[in-house]
Amino acid sequence: MEATIVNFRGSYRTKKGNHIIIKVNNINTPEKAAKLVGKKITWKTKSGIEIKGEIVKPHGNSGALRTIFEKGLPGQALGTKARVD
């Protein structure tokens, strides 16, 4: 499955570098999003380095998901695609 990295998780003062909000294609309800909890996600840089993470919780009422990556993603990752395994 393909997902889009939407934003970092956090408030207007504090951002969490490894907590990311994603939106998966064709997932638009919290019930559908809950089925993806526990799956792995991979984001690939232009140079081929893979940063891996895990989906941990649904986020909001539109089917977004909260993920935790093993290390912080760069700001250039926002708006790009990631792969859900």
Q: What is the pTM of this model?
A: 0.88
For residue 23, how many other CB atoms are within 10 A of its CB?
A: 18
pLDDT at 41: 96
**CATH topology for 2-84?**
Thrombin, subunit H (2.40.10)
**Per-residue pLDDT tens for 32-59?**
999 999 999 999 999 999 999 999 999 9
Beta-carbon contacts of residue 3 (< 8 Å; ≥ 6 apart): 22, 23, 24, 25, 41, 65, 81, 82, 83, 84
Q: Is the pLDDT of residue 65 over 80?
A: yes
